[in-house]
A and B are shown apart, each in its own frame.
Chain A
Amino acid sequence: MSEGNRYVVVTKKDCPTCQLIEPALEELAKQSTLKVFNQDGPDFPVLTGAEVVDDHELDGSWALNVEIVPTLVCYQGDQEVGRTEGWERAAWRQLTGFDSLGEALPEFRPGCGSLTRDPSIAPRLEARHGSGRLKARRLTLASLEDAIEVCYERGFSDGLPVVPPTPERVITMLSGTQRDPGEILGDVPPDLVPVSIEKVAINAVMAGCRPEYLPVVIAAVEAALDEPFCMHGLLATTYFSGPMVVVSGPLARRIGMNAGVNALGQGNRANATIGRALQLVIRNVGGGRPGGVDRATLGNPGKYTFCFAEDEDLAWTSLSEDRGFAREQTTVTLFAADGVQGIVDQKAREPEPLCRSFAAGLRVVSHPKMVQAPDAFLVVSPEHARVFHDAGWSKQQVTERLHELLLIDGSELVQGAGGMAEGLPAKLGGRRFRKFRKNGLTLVRAGGGAGMFSAIIGGWGASGEIGSSPVTKEVRS
């Protein structure tokens, strides 16, 4: 026997290996100082001469940072000098110096998972004990306060109820990423406040996200904070726009995002909450609130949430590919978007007439006489995409044809033309103008299988270097 050592064993009655080694624990208790923490009740193990602690609250197991039961920990004084997991007779004998320990037992039996690692319990323990990972200020509510109402009163909500961000829920949310909760993603406008992964997680909880959505939300925040997206100006503008989130790639399907029926509408948790989480980050971390720095004249309903997935089809390049990534990479693309303008064509069976319908609809984005001011997304439904696929037209061909059809004579655009005061200065009447700047038109496939309708999503009147360009970021776990 090793003189002066003391031993701590963590057990669980529910674990067959812990049941098996009960006689060995009794042997050890007779020979040395032994303390046992049992995770599931006070009646196991039955030992004479050892202190058995009912650890169903798991505080002892948590402090020992146990992953497997049984775990044997050896101390000299207050110093841990070794530990072994499960039952491996040779290891137990070596650690205890007790050469005949467990003679009647098999040589090896694996242990079971410690309850402290149970996904439904671990966040509560981490929240209770404070692993030091969470840095956000804690707000303590009075006993009769309703947490949802408190979130309203403190201005945390976008108008809809939020899920109260308890430490337990935030820790559970953080399990969705391997990134350090303290990692800073950038400064959120308008107040230019550094935002950590933890703050993103808090707002993702409030938005109603599941942990597996968190990497997508983080990528959306990274895209919003990228300089070319111009989030500051987008927030402050009187114009309608707000960030639209398009997710392309395998993770979109894995987390259950909707790219099909009603893709731009309600009803899918991932679509609804990812877009909302981004808006809550800007509201709560950045301080961007309507009536404050957000000066939108009318805004648009997408400022609650505007997020959907691409319906990828091998006939066309994916949005990830169009934006310089591989099809296998999952990306988030942000666009400074207004609302949805429908375009109907139930007759065209060839690309050219369908392009002409699309062009006629795209011509009026912002104003029929406004050119190279806004960008636009065209969300092509499967039934419209089929027309192009059948004729072998790539997405790039369609885009080029649309740009050609959207070359407009200045005479149609000048002030006064068509009886409208709005327009370009008269001196520009002799030139021709593209409706959209060179990279200002983006096509993406989404929607249900029935319906010869596509969606034009116009953008902020300040595009490109003057304002916002679409930004794409890879989703990282």
Chain B
Amino acid sequence: MASEEFRDAAKAQGDALGFHARAYYVPHPIQDRSDEEMKALARDALPGILDMLRRNPARDNEL
């Protein structure tokens, strides 16, 4: 997980390592957020994070 601004960095590092881990990007910024805003960000991110952690058998044929 990273904020949107770090998509390019993750790609560059993934290219160098030959390993592109699954990634989920949350909206930037992070550092000036309040606790409540951070929690809301986490809740909004959950479906995407679960999607990243689980295989959906219904979509296997798409691959």
Chain A residues within CB distance 8 Å of chain B: 190-191, 236, 287, 289, 291-293, 295
Contacts and interface: CB of A to CB of B under 8 A. Distances in A.
Of the listed residues A287, A289, A292, A295, the one surrounded by the most CB atoms of chain B closer than 10 A to its CB is A292
Contacts of A191: 13, 16-17
Contacts of B16: 190-191, 287
B9 A287 contact: no
Interface residues of B, number: 8
18 contacts: A190-B12, A190-B13, A190-B16, A191-B13, A191-B16, A191-B17, A236-B9, A287-B16, A289-B12, A292-B8, A292-B9, A292-B12, A292-B13, A293-B9, A293-B12, A295-B5, A295-B6, A295-B9
Q: Dominant SS at the A interface? A: loop
A190 B13 CA distance: 8
Contacts of B5: 295
B23 to A, nearest CB: 15
B13 to A, nearest CB: 6
Contacts of B13: 190-191, 292-293
A190 B6 CA distance: 15
Contacts of A292: 8-9, 12-13
Nearest to B5: A295
A212 to B, nearest CB: 33
Contacts of A287: 12, 16
A99 to B, nearest CB: 70
A289 B12 CA distance: 9
A303 B7 CA distance: 23
A445 to B, nearest CB: 38
Interface in B1-35: 5-6, 8-9, 12-13, 16-17
Contacts of B9: 236, 292-293, 295
Contacts of B17: 191
Of the listed residues B6, B13, B16, the one surrounded by the most CB atoms of chain A closer than 10 A to its CB is B16
Given A191-B16, A292-B9, A293-B9, 10 more contacts: A190-B16, A191-B17, A236-B9, A287-B12, A287-B16, A291-B8, A292-B12, A292-B13, A293-B13, A295-B9
A295 B5 CA distance: 9
B7 to A, nearest CB: 11
Contacts of A289: 12
A239 to B, nearest CB: 12
A112 B17 CA distance: 54
A291 B11 CA distance: 11
A123 B44 CA distance: 63
A289 B8 CA distance: 11
Nearest to B8: A291
Contacts of B8: 291-292
Nearest to A288: B12
A289 B13 CA distance: 11
- Pick the 3 closest A-B CB pairs, nearest first: A292-B12, A191-B16, A293-B12
Of the listed residues A191, A287, A293, A295, the one surrounded by the most CB atoms of chain B closer than 10 A to its CB is A293
A92 B6 CA distance: 74
